[in-house]
């Protein structure tokens, strides 16, 4: 959520910043609701002042006197007016709160201008894409792929985008997850095993609601949401809490299955492991001091990049332009690996800074040492990493002439073999 003070004092700054995200936002309605709420609040407070004054005057008058009776009548009239105004105030306040939730976070000054993904900036590259397997093919065309990654039976049991992983298919997924978690813990993150369902308050705190209702699976009658990412339960770990300043930064990592409806997905983007409704991912999350949040973003990105380097995967880093920046982010980097069979880049991680946007919604604060006052933390998160597309690139880039897949040296101890076979 944006700072209401910023909205009131600099509405044109907010309007221009939202325009950089190329979003259609009814800022005028939010401003009108804010003005109405503040005006009604003043009226209610004035009536409460009159009630207090009438009570004081009554206490000084003898009961039963004409003056006392007149004050009683006056107080009843004021009380009725205050009650009516207070009801209207609460209604306006609720509308204002809901309208505030429709305002996106503002992009950082370093975010490049642009409307489409094609206008994202290549920030860095690593590895040689020309030195990969000459026999690479799209992973779903590898002989025996369906024996390890059974999409047909997954579709029968659940639906499209819910594959079975069988034998070495399951083993390689487990190996990747354990590798990611071990590396993240060594980098200073504390591992957490969070719930994989969250309530609406949690999804609202991180910005999934009211922005992404159509992308999440919701249960009935409990109205819980299957997590689209571990970011949601992890961020809410400290909801409505105040941390000591000396505890910052706090770093956590978590593995969860992730569930996304991916409504409207089609074409080459959904072939094979490219886009699933259920997939496995390790998430990195930080609660940090505002003064260090952009340094922490660079460190977060490097933590995700290190995993790709150890897996010997060529990758590039994109700095997202305003139009391709998410609703809640102020700045975001995407990491994309090269898939030699498809001859295209596949996103495997997003590393984002939300500044105080999520923290204000979730009321996650730290107590400042110098003033003793609670202040909002900054939150950051990144994928470290998402399994399916990493696996797709590993299968394609390391495919051997005999149909086996060479396992990177860093991953082999977790997999237990040097080669994955499809037989």
Q: Could you give the CA distance from residue 176 to residue 197 in angstroms, rounded to a whole number?
A: 23
CATH of domain 117-420: 3.30.930.10
Other CB atoms within 10 Å distance of the CB of residue 240: 11
Q: 282: Cβ–Cβ under 8 A, 6 or more apart, which residues?
A: 177, 180, 181, 184, 230, 253, 254, 255, 383, 384, 385
Domain-by-domain residue ranges, the chain? 26-100, 117-420
CA dihedral 315, 319, 324, 330 (to 10 degrees): 130
- CA 394, 183, 284 angle in degrees (round to 5)? 90
Q: What is the DSSP string of 171-239?
A: HHHHHHHHHHHHHHHHTTPEEE---SEE-HHHHHHHT-TTT-GGGS-B-TTT--EE-SSTHHHHHGGGT
Structure tokens that stand for 230 in this block? 């571990």
Active site residues: 260, 275, 347, 350, 389
87-91 long-range CB contacts below 8 Å, 24 or more apart?
Answer: 88/40, 89/37, 89/40, 89/41, 89/43, 89/44
Could you tell me the pTM of the whole model? Answer: 0.92
Task: Name the H helices within 21-109.
Answer: 27-59, 66-100
Beta bridge pairs of residue 280: 257
Q: Could you give the CA distance from residue 394 to residue 411 in angstroms, rounded to a whole number?
A: 11
Please state, in angstroms and as integers, the Cα–Cα distance from residue 355 to each residue in 140, 332, 359, following that order: 40, 12, 8
CA torsion through residues 279, 280, 282, 283, sign: positive
Count helices and strands in the chain by DSSP H and E runs: 13, 17
Note the pLDDT of residue 284.
Answer: 98
CATH architecture of 26-100: Orthogonal Bundle (1.10)
CA torsion through residues 13, 15, 18, 19, sign: negative
Are 19 and 323 in contact by the 8 Å Cβ rule? The answer is no
Note the pLDDT of residue 267.
Answer: 57
pLDDT in tens, the chain (423 residues): 999 999 999 999 999 999 999 999 999 999 999 999 999 999 999 998 988 888 888 788 888 888 888 878 888 888 889 999 999 999 999 999 999 999 999 999 999 999 999 999 999 999 999 988 899 999 999 999 999 999 999 999 999 999 999 999 999 999 999 999 999 999 999 999 999 999 999 999 999 998 788 899 999 999 999 999 999 999 999 999 999 999 999 999 999 999 999 755 555 567 999 999 999 999 999 999 999 999 999 999 999 999 999 999 999 999 999 999 999 999 999 999 999 999 999 999 999 999 999 999 999 999 999 999 999 999 999 999 999 999 999 999 999 999 999 999 999 999 999 999 997
Residue 19 is inside which H or E element, if any? helix 11-20
Q: How far apart are the first and last CA of the chain?
A: 53
Note the pLDDT of residue 61.
Answer: 87
Q: Could you give the CA distance from residue 204 to residue 206 in angstroms, rounded to a whole number?
A: 6
Residue 388 is inside which H or E element, if any? helix 387-397
Note the pLDDT of residue 161.
Answer: 96
Note the pLDDT of residue 265.
Answer: 55
Q: Give, as one character, the DSSP assignment of residue 379.
A: E
């Amino acid at each position: 959520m944006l700072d209401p003070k910023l909205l009131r004092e600099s509405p044109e700054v907010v309007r221009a910043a939202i325009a950089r995200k190329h979003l259609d936002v009814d800022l005028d309605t939010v401003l009108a609701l804010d003005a109405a709420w503040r005006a009604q609040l003043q009226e209610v407070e004035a009536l409460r002042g009159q009630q207090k004054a009438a009570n004081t005057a009554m206490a000084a008058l003898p009961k039963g006197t004409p003056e006392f009776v007149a004050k009683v009548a006056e107080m009843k009239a004021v009380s009725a007016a205050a009650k009516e105004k207070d009801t209207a105030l609460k209604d306006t306040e609720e509308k204002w709160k809901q309208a505030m939730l429709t305002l996106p976070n503002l992009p950082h000054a370093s975010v490049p201008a642009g409307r489409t993904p094609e206008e994202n900036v290549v920030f860095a590259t690593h590895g040689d894409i020309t030195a990969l397997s000459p026999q690479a093919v799209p992973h779903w065309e590898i002989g025996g792929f369906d024996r390890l990654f059974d999409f047909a039976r997954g579709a029968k049991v659940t639906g499209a985008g819910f594959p079975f992983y069988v034998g070495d298919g399951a083993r390689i997924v487990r190996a990747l997850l354990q590798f990611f978690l071990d590396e993240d813990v060594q980098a200073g993150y504390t591992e957490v095993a969070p719930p994989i369902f969250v309530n609406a308050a949690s999804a609202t705190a991180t910005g999934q609601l009211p922005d992404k209702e159509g992308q999440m699976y919701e249960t009935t009658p409990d109205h819980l949401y299957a997590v689209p990412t571990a970011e949601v339960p992890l961020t809410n770990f400290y909801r409505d809490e105040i941390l000591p300043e000396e505890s910052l930064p706090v770093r956590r990592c978590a593995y969860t299955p992730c569930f996304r409806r991916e409504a409207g997905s089609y074409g080459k983007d959904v072939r094979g492991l490219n886009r699933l409704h259920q997939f496995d991912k390790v998430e990195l999350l930080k609660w940090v001091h505002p003064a260090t949040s952009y340094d922490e973003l660079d460190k977060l990105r490097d933590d995700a990049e290190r995993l790709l380097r150890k897996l010997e995967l060529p990758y590039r880093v994109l700095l997202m332009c305003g139009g391709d920046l998410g609703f809640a982010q102020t700045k975001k980097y995407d990491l994309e690996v090269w898939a030699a069979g498809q001859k295209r880049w596949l996103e495997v991680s997003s590393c984002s800074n939300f500044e105080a946007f999520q923290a204000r919604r979730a009321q996650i604060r730290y107590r400042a040492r110098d003033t003793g006052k609670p202040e909002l933390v900054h939150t950051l998160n990144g994928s470290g990493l998402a399994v399916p597309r990493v696996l797709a690139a590993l299968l394609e880039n390391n495919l051997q002439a005999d149909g086996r897949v060479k396992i990177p040296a860093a991953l082999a101890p977790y997999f237990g073999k040097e080669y994955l076979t499809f037989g």
